[in-house]
Structure 1
Amino acid sequence: MKMKSSKVLTKKDLMKVFWRSFTMEWAWNYERQMNLGYAYSMVPALRKIYKNSKEKMSSALKRHLEFFNVTPWISTFPIGISIAMEEQNAKDEDFDTKSINDIKVALMGPLSGIGDSIFWGTLRVIATGIGTSLAIHGNILGPILFLLIFNIPALLARYYGLFWGYNLGASFIEKVQKTGLMDKLTYGASVIGLMVIGAMASTLVTINLPMKLGTTKDAPTVQSLFDGIVPGILPILFTVLIYYLDKKGWKAQYILLLMAVIGILGAFTGFMKA
């Protein structure tokens, strides 16, 4: 794929990013998930973009150590967009660096939905079906075809996603800068990001308080009282508490220990229920 000569980065630079992107799965962690692999993948591009400023290079690395998670095989698409935005930031002193992470957060949900459906929900099932049907008859082509059917499209998506993201990001950012749409885009991305976080808190965080407010059989529970105020308010409040502790400098292991203690004590006393 040809790269435009007016850009700072060459295809060789982006290929370095491509090979490093495989660490997205290897460096996954429970605190910020793909952030280490994302930042590590960005290093070759950032070194060239900010070769004259160690301070800007450091700030860029910190930006990309924020929480991030997406279907691994399409992770290079947002990386490409991030690189294009970092490139624009190096050229424009008034560029809003907050928009870089806002765009990343906004892309996580939609891209994961598409990626999971294609790779986990469809391609993996097809590859497994074909591979298993041959393997149960002792055919060595079973595992080989499984790996090829799944990994060839995955590698192509990872490769082309990086270049598409970079080219799209560069041209798109230039247009929105000229038309003054960057502020609106940043605001919209922030709203979408907050919606994604709210949805994640509501669906992934579960708190059940079964204690009844009264002695009758039909007495309402504490849980129903809170749900009557705002459905799912307890998971949101608990998420806000964890966010507050994180901002106060609590380490992840202490927060996890606190959550475990609350869960154990809650289940032991009957105040909480799974």
Structure 2
Amino acid sequence: MTLGQVLLLAFIAGFAYFSRRFMGDLFLERAIVLGPLTGLVLGDLATGLAVGAALELIFIGAADVGGSVPPNLPIGSVLGTAFAITAGLSPEQAMVVAVPAALLGAFGELIAKAVSTVFVTAAERYADRGSGRGVAAMVHLGNFVHFLCIAVPAFLGLQLGTTAVQHLSAAIEGPLQNGLMVAGAVLPALGFALLLNTLSTKMLMPFFFIGFLLAAYTSFGVLGVAALGFMIAAVWIFQKGGVQLVHRGDGDQAEAATYSRRDQRRLFWRSFAVQSAFSFDRMQAMGFTWALLPFLRRLYPDRERFGAALRRHLVFFNSHAWLPGPILALVSDLEAQHAAITAPAAAEARTATAAASDAPSATVTATAVEPAPTRTDTTDDLAGLDAEERAEREHNSVQTIQGVKGSLMGPLAGIGDAAFHGTLRPLFSGISASLALQGNVLAPLVFLIPVNVVHVVIRWVSLSYGFRLGRRLFERIDQTAIKRLMEGASIAGLMGVGALVGTWLSIDTPLQYTQGESVVSLQDMLDQVMPKIIPLGITLLAFWGIRRRVNAMLVLLVLAVVGFGLGALGVLHTGG
């Protein structure tokens, strides 16, 4: 690799991770995307597709949920693919390099999240001074640190590790080579086990075996089984009542007039950055505050109240990256009410109301902050309140804002994690990995386009409904419809996972024994019982370990060590 290629690949790794922070978690950092992209840079797209697909299958069930730090796929994907191309490694051998690189790369993310706590503290100091620019600068600086904490290790690994991997590859042959091949081939069982743990219930688990049997006994393939899974899921959902998630009601447009379309569009685009400067102590607080910043600036033109609003939102916040819209909409509505309550002109408005009934104070207040959203009903309610009652109203208003955030972020995170990280993304990444292993150059687009179409639509619709219905949104949500939709998605996902196990987990045994004058293959005997029974058994053992709450990294280590040992001894090998 040339220095230019190393720099470019390091930038790609850092930018892919940065996109999770500032661009809405577009899944650009997945191995199915970065493997082929690395192959393009190094002039070997075929190897990039194969290595990217193999690594995607290993970590297909890994997700950055809450404050967890999963293996770093940008570093693992770029280094694994680059070493496979420059050292002539097979995809299975590349996994033995890529997986440790991904695990070690997680320390870069740990450092970034730790350092970002410093920027949160600095942002609070800027908020105390009412400096929105200072808060924004800390957000961008935190994102830059996140970028560097991945790009720099990727650069060092590529620059220093290529020669060592080439020498190691040249020295490995015979039983050691077969051991490494088997170790790399069994690792995807962990990804499948993690998905099973997320998707399966006692009622739905048979759909995994249906998908596996279809793939093992027929030529359906992963794509065919996935398509059948979608159809079965659709029948299941509509037989149980359909997918109307929000009940219709009178007055659904009542809240829309309060906010301009410009307000909604600005919040929509800024909501993509909700994971900015992610830190261990406040998590998404910096990104959430940055999304609201222009809106708050217009609501609170004076420095003191603007600073208090910024400080109010720099407290802990964490929800699903695709679903901040309803919370942003509700908080915006509550902040508009709070702005009316705390407006400096409120006391004068009450006096004006009593003195001249033909000149309503609401009109004066509504035009005080041009063209900010208005809450004239709240301003009217303030007439006649004394200072103590008004102070209590202000305190209750702040408590309500924080209460809405705290009560909604958990449920929305649960819905998003299960629907998108647990079902949508793994299903399409599995389909795309299957296509990539066949050499289909469109595989990354098959993953990225449909997933992000759903992403953008969900982000906009959830924000729009939040503005349209306000607090009524959560009264109108049909919980049973959500449950039906989740069950249907799980059905399609389980069938897809079963098909992946039956198609791409290629491990068999070369063992034979002599019976009389004939030589009997143990694999032929197993195939008569059930094709692909060894991959199925390995996956179910890994699933059993995950269900028994064994740490996923320990399961990965056991798979790698046992796979290497059985491969080196000639008990297992990678088959077709």
| TM-score, normalised with respect to structure 1 | 0.59
2:157 is aligned with 1:164:
yes
2:185 is aligned with 1:190:
yes
Residue 82 and residue 246 in structure 1: after superposition, are their counterparts in 2 closer, same or farther (change >3 A)?
farther
Contact 1:42 1:83 in 2 (8 A): yes
**1:245-264 to 2 correspondences below 5 Å:** 247-250=221-224, 254=227, 257-258=230-231, 260-261=233-234, 263-264=236-237
Instruction: Give 1:168 deviation, angstroms.
Output: 2.6
Equivalent AA in structure 1 for residue 75 of structure 2: T
**1:117-132 to 2 correspondences below 5 Å:** 117-119=110-112, 122-124=114-116, 127-132=119-124
Instruction: Give 1:172 deviation, angstroms.
Output: 3.5
Instruction: Give 1:192 deviation, angstroms.
Output: 3.1
Q: Which residue of 1 aligns with 2:2?
A: 10
Q: Rg bigger for which structure?
A: 2
Residue 261 and residue 103 in structure 1: after superposition, are their counterparts in 2 closer, same or farther (change >3 A)?
farther
**1:199-210 to 2 correspondences below 5 Å:** 200-209=194-203
Paired with 2:111 and 2:147, the residues of 1 have a C-alpha distance of 10
Contact 1:74 1:157 in 2 (8 A): no
| CA offset digits 1:83-126 (Å, max 9, x no partner) | 1221121xxxxx5344235654x458735865665545x45555
**1:259-274 to 2 correspondences below 5 Å:** 260-261=233-234, 263-265=236-238, 267-268=240-241
> Which runs of no fewer than 5 residues in structure 1 stay unpaired?
1-8, 48-56, 90-94, 210-222, 224-232
SS of equivalent residue, structure 2 residue 224:
coil
Q: Which residue of 2 aligns with 1:19?
A: 11
Equivalent AA in structure 1 for residue 165 of structure 2: F
Q: Which residue of 2 aligns with 1:3?
A: none
Paired with 1:11 and 1:190, the residues of 2 have a C-alpha distance of 32
Q: Quick check: 79-88 or 145-154, which moved more? A: 145-154
**1:50-89 to 2 correspondences below 5 Å:** 57-66=44-53, 68=56, 75-89=74-88
> Which runs of no fewer than 5 residues in structure 2 stay unpaired?
63-69, 243-479, 488-576
Contact 2:35 2:49 in 1 (8 A): no
Paired with 2:119 and 2:151, the residues of 1 have a C-alpha distance of 18
Residue 129 and residue 44 in structure 1: after superposition, are their counterparts in 2 closer, same or farther (change >3 A)?
same
SS of equivalent residue, structure 1 residue 207:
coil
Instruction: Give 1:11 deviation, angstroms.
Output: 1.0
Q: Which residue of 1 aligns with 2:209?
A: 237
2:15 is aligned with 1:42:
no
Equivalent AA in structure 2 for residue 141 of structure 1: G
Instruction: Give 1:171 deviation, angstroms.
Output: 0.5
SS of equivalent residue, structure 1 residue 138:
coil
Instruction: Report the count of equivalent residues.
Output: 224
Match 2:93 to one of 80, 99, 119: 99
Equivalent AA in structure 1 for residue 32 of structure 2: N
Paired with 2:228 and 2:27, the residues of 1 have a C-alpha distance of 15
Contact 2:10 2:154 in 1 (8 A): no
CA RMSD of aligned residues (A): 4.5
Residue 141 and residue 242 in structure 1: after superposition, are their counterparts in 2 closer, same or farther (change >3 A)?
farther
| CA offset digits 1:174-218 (Å, max 9, x no partner) | 2254143333223223333322331x1233213353xxxxxxxxx
Paired with 1:243 and 1:44, the residues of 2 have a C-alpha distance of 34
Paired with 2:155 and 2:235, the residues of 1 have a C-alpha distance of 43
Instruction: Give 1:44 deviation, angstroms.
Output: 2.0
Residue 74 and residue 257 in structure 1: after superposition, are their counterparts in 2 closer, same or farther (change >3 A)?
closer
Percent identity between the two aligned chains: 8
Q: Which residue of 2 aligns with 1:145?
A: 138
Instruction: Give 1:75 deviation, angstroms.
Output: 1.2
Residue 40 and residue 255 in structure 1: after superposition, are their counterparts in 2 closer, same or farther (change >3 A)?
farther
Q: Which residue of 2 aligns with 1:220?
A: none
Q: Which of the pair has the greater relative contact order for Cα pairs under 8 Å at 6+ separation?
A: 2
Paired with 2:235 and 2:163, the residues of 1 have a C-alpha distance of 48
Q: Which residue of 1 aligns with 2:547?
A: none
